[in-house]
Amino acid sequence: MVSEVRELDGLVARADAALAFVCDPELPFLTIHDLGILRGVRLNDGCLEVSISPTYSGCPANDVIALDIVTTLARAGIDNTHVVIERYPPWTTDWITEAGREKLALNGISPPPRAAGKRALFDNAVHNCPQCGSRETELLSAFGSTACKAHHRCLHCREPFEAFKCI
């Protein structure tokens, strides 16, 4: 019995280690852990369940991420898997890890401020320029290269940049 429990714990640990390499297809420098969309890994009736939360319900990357999870686990020798989409509580940009925020900035995307709250409805948040760090920026377009980003410009260095929208 004890060895069986250890084996199952080992399976979950192996799965966690493998999932550390699953990246977001729209932001390939971020893992699903960095984004905070990986909710959990657990065994359920002999099947390994991986729970994720979509960044928003219409995100076109959801199916690709689920397929990447199953494929990554299969490569790690874990075949009996199922991906569960958890919509409650809904994902928020507050779930992006510090490492994820740093990776966004290093890749020229201003991370969203913490505790976005109701600002998400209007995106009035101030976004620091990822090039020079200035807080003097302006919104150029609420629509960026993906639905979760907007185009901004720094008024100090004049460089355009994308900012992750508050959700």
Average pLDDT over all residues of the chain: 85
Place of tokens 């090039």: 131
pLDDT in tens, 110-153: 888 776 554 554 556 678 898 898 989 999 988 887 777 888 99
How far is it, in rounded angstroms, from Cα 103 to Cα 96? Answer: 11
How far is it, in rounded angstroms, from Cα 152 to Cα 39? Answer: 31
Q: Decide: 152 and 139 in contact? Cβ < 8 Å.
A: yes
- DSSP-assigned states of every residue in 71-139: HHHHHTT--SEEEEE--SSPP-GGGS-HHHHHHHHHTTEEPPPS--GGGGGTT------TTT--S-EEE
Q: Decide: 69 and 61 in contact? Cβ < 8 Å.
A: no
Name which residue leads in pLDDT, 26 or 34.
Answer: 34
Q: So what's the pLDDT on residue 149?
A: 83
By mean pLDDT, which of 52-56, 68-72, 127-131, 144-148 is the weakest? 144-148
Of 55-69, 87-101, 114-128, 143-157, the range with the highest mean pLDDT is: 87-101
CATH architecture of 2-85: 2-Layer Sandwich (3.30)
The domains of the chain are located at 2-85, 97-164
